Amino acid sequence: MNLVDPPMRDRLAKADRVVGNWTFFRQWLKNPLAIAALSPSSRILAREMINQLPEHPGRVIELGGGTGVFTRALLDRGVVPENLLVVELNTELHRLLREQFPLVKVIRGDARELRTIIDGEDFGKDHGVDAILSGLGLLSMSRSTQRSILTAALSVLGPNGRFIQFTYGPSSPVSRELLDELGLHSVRAGMAWRNVPPAAVYVFTRKNSMSIRAVRTHRR
């Protein structure tokens, strides 16, 4: 039972966003190369990302939790806290996420070590995870770093799992050569035009996995 009335819940969520935005900006000032954007992702972009989840998602991983915009959207979508694992490398953002989402597994760690992280948490070891939502700045990363992250993701995704990624660039943040090397298929699933800056959402799946249909949403 939810003991917080909707107006109070909305005020608390707004307060969390204000604190989160300020924390995010301070971390960007400290290390702009490590933070992919000047401001957190918008709720509009979060909706575009959430729309690409499987119809009945079980275990879900979020990479680069940031200020919790995607985390909150995942919980609102119906992903139960014990089936959600959030990985955030930045110390301050990790602390913020743990404070805002005490029932969610929030781990401070590197996405390249995802296999080790979920083994340590005993998370989805039997059947893998259904989806990974990534807030990481793949576009600004070297190909070797992209390869390490995607290889780690593939090691934990179930056979028909999907890797959902947004990018600010005009095309896929992962080159065709690397996609072919890793045996991945990509689909541009949507655009969040009103995000600042506008962002595209891509869905990556194994080429031999069951085909998926990207959910096209109305232009916003």
**Domain annotation for the chain: domains and CATH numbers:** 6-31+38-206 (3.40.50.150)
Whole-number Å distance between alpha carbons of 52 and 202:
9
Whole-number Å distance between alpha carbons of 205 and 184:
6
Ramachandran class of 80: left when φ > 0, alpha when ψ lies in -120 to 50, beta otherwise: beta
Q: What is the dihedral of CA 174, 175, 180, 181, to 10 degrees?
A: -80
Look over the chain and give the mean of its residue pLDDT values, rounded to a whole number. Answer: 83
Of residues 24 and 137, the one with the higher pLDDT is: 137
Q: Which helix (H) or strand (E) holds 192?
A: strand 184-192
Greatest mean pLDDT among 11-15, 40-44, 161-165: 161-165
47 within 8 A of 21, measured Cβ to Cβ: no
Does 196 score more than 70 pLDDT?
A: yes
pLDDT reported for residue 195 = 86
- For residues 28-36, give the mean pLDDT: 45
Does 63 score more than 70 pLDDT?
A: yes
